[in-house]
Amino acid sequence: MQDRAKLENLEKISRLIRYHCLAMTTRAGSGHPTSSLSATELMAGLLFGGAFRYDPDHPDSPNNDRLIFSKGHASPLFYALWAVAGAVSEEELTTYRKFDSPLEGHPTVAFRYTEAATGSLGQGLSIGVGTALNAKYLDKLPYRTYVLLGDSEMAEGSQWESIQIAAHYKLDNLVGVIDVNRLGQRGETMLGSDLDAYAARVGAFGWKTIVMDGHSYPQILDAFEKALGAEEPVMIIARTIKGKGISFLEDKNGWHGKPLEKDEFEKAVKELGEIDHSVRGKISLPVQLQPEAIEPRKAAESHFPADKPLATRKAYGKALTRIYPQFPGIVSLDGEVSNSTGAETFKARYPDRFFEMFIAEQNMVGAAIGLARSGKIPFVSTFAAFFSRACDQIRMSRYSDANIKFVGSHAGVSIGQDGPSQMGLEDIAMFRAIFNSVVLYPCDAVSTDALVEKAAAHRGLVYIRTTRMDTPILYAPKERFEIGGSKVLRKSEADVATVAAAGVTLHEALRACDELKKEGIAIRVMDLYSVKPLDEAALLDAAKATGLVITVEDHFPEGGIGEAVRSALWSSGVPVYSLAVRKEPKSGLPRELLDFEEISRKAIVAKVKELLWKRKRQALDVPGSWR
Q: Establish whether the linkage from the previous residue to 533 is cis, with ω within 30° of 0.
A: yes
Annotated catalytic residue 225? no
Cite the DSSP H helix spans in 112-211: 124-133, 157-168, 195-203
Count of residues for the chain? 627
Burial of 89 (0-12, 13-18, 19+ CB in 10 A): exposed
> Tell me, what DSSP letter sits at residue 154?
G
Structural contact between residues 427 and 387, judged by C-beta atoms closer than 8 angstroms: yes
> Tell me, what DSSP letter sits at residue 508?
H
CB-CB neighbours of 553 under 10 Å: 31
What's the CA gap between 482 and 63, in Å, rounded? 37
Output the CA–CA distances (angstroms, integers) from residue 152 to 128, 182, 215, 547, in the order listed.
18, 8, 19, 57
Output the CA–CA distances (angstroms, integers) from residue 489 to 475, 505, 514, 604, in the order listed.
10, 13, 12, 16
- HEC per residue, 245-307: CCCCCCCCCCCCCCCCCHHHHHHHHHHHCCCCCCCCCCCECCCCCCCCCCCCCCCCCCCCCCC
The dihedral formed by the CA atoms of 338, 344, 350 and 351, expressed in degrees to the nearest 10: 60
**Residue 556 dihedral angles phi and psi, to the nearest 5°:** -60, 150
What's the CA gap between 130 and 145, in Å, rounded? 10
The dihedral formed by the CA atoms of 363, 368, 371 and 375, expressed in degrees to the nearest 10: -160
Active-site residue, from 104, 153, 161, 361: 361
Structural contact between residues 62 and 290, judged by C-beta atoms closer than 8 angstroms: yes
What's the CA gap between 618 and 614, in Å, rounded? 6
Cite the DSSP H helix spans in 462-600: 504-518, 536-546, 561-568, 590-596
What's the CA gap between 180 and 194, in Å, rounded? 9
**Residue 487 dihedral angles phi and psi, to the nearest 5°:** -135, 140
Residues catalogued as catalytic: 361
